[in-house]
Amino acid sequence: MERLIEGTPGEEAAVWVQDRGGGPLRLRGHVVIEDLGGVLTSISSRTGANGPLNPVTQYMLSRAANHLADRLIDDAGPTKDGRDSVPRILSSALGHQPFVESVLEMSQHQMLRRWPLATDWYTDVINYVMRPSRFDPKFEGLVADIGQKTAAPLGEFVRSFTREAYTFSDNTKTVRVAEALQALWPDYAPVRNAMGQYRQHVLERYIPVYRAALQAYGLVARPGMDIQTIGWAFNALHVREALEFLAGQTTTHTTPDGIEWSMTAWTVMLIIAGAVTDEEGNTFHPTELSERLPIRPFPTIEPLLAP
């Protein structure tokens, strides 16, 4: 059987490989060839039988991706009796008794008296990593002087608010770990439950602030627009920007008037412009809306600080 040296992108190719130890070529399956020339930056050969267009090369990468998923993403599936299994990577990193003895250098009884079962220990570590209250000090500091912020044009308020509310430079480990847990195991019961608590906490804490800010600037949601959905979008934006910032990506946008915005702040303005009108029903271009001044004082802040 003649092996294909380089496939054509978009076409299916057979994968013939000699097994370990020798013997004849064996058909391992088929792959649809992709143009991976600009994707594989570290492969030793750029062309030929060991290059990016070779069927065996692409077969190896495809199997590696699936194998990684089996070890990470699919690691938390239910067992035969319907219970969630503990992800192997979680148990290997935080092994119940090995962690307390080897990492903390404490007696295992310190662990067992608190968490007799390993699964309970993993659940509470996840609860702790993803606890919504970890953002409370930032929120309370933000709201404490929000009346001063809303004396400025709406764009300046949004830039200031998003910068202070959505900056994680003081706690990047929390962001990384919490996002990794959600990305890898969103359907793992402890992660799913913690995500639900976080979502509820964000809605209860931030939605009243957003509603009060709209009131101060004389803006109302358009018919059919839900302030809770708008708030969810704000939260999603800041999480994405935080991850891209950690990855060294450009997370700023400069408008034609020369003002530099974070991507979160500018996209928030786009969402607001599309979701609200003034109290007379007038709509605004995002740049025009960013220059809008408040028409009344920010509402009393004490209720916003209540848990």
pLDDT of residue 203: 80
pLDDT of residue 75: 58
pLDDT in tens, 177-214: 888 888 888 888 888 888 888 888 878 888 888 888 89
Rounded CA-CA distance 153/287 in Å is: 11
- Strand pairing of 25-32 and 12-18? antiparallel
Rounded CA-CA distance 114/106 in Å is: 13
pLDDT band at 141; cut points 50, 70, 90:
confident
pLDDT band at 129; cut points 50, 70, 90:
confident
| Helix, strand, coil tally for the chain in percent (to 5) | 55, 10, 35
pLDDT of residue 24: 87
Determine contact, residues 25/18, Cβ cutoff 8 Å. Answer: yes
Rounded CA-CA distance 57/31 in Å is: 10
pLDDT of residue 149: 67
Rounded CA-CA distance 2/45 in Å is: 21
What is the rounded average pLDDT of the residues 223-233? 86
Rounded CA-CA distance 202/58 in Å is: 43
What is the rounded average pLDDT of the residues 14-27? 87
Q: Is the pLDDT of residue 57 over 80?
A: yes
What is the rounded average pLDDT of the residues 112-131? 86
pLDDT band at 171; cut points 50, 70, 90:
low
What is the rounded average pLDDT of the residues 227-247? 81
Quick one: which of 305, 294, 122, 113 has its CA closest to 216? 294
pLDDT of residue 15: 93
pLDDT in tens, 28-54: 999 999 999 889 889 999 899 899 999
pLDDT of residue 256: 87
Rounded CA-CA distance 211/286 in Å is: 19
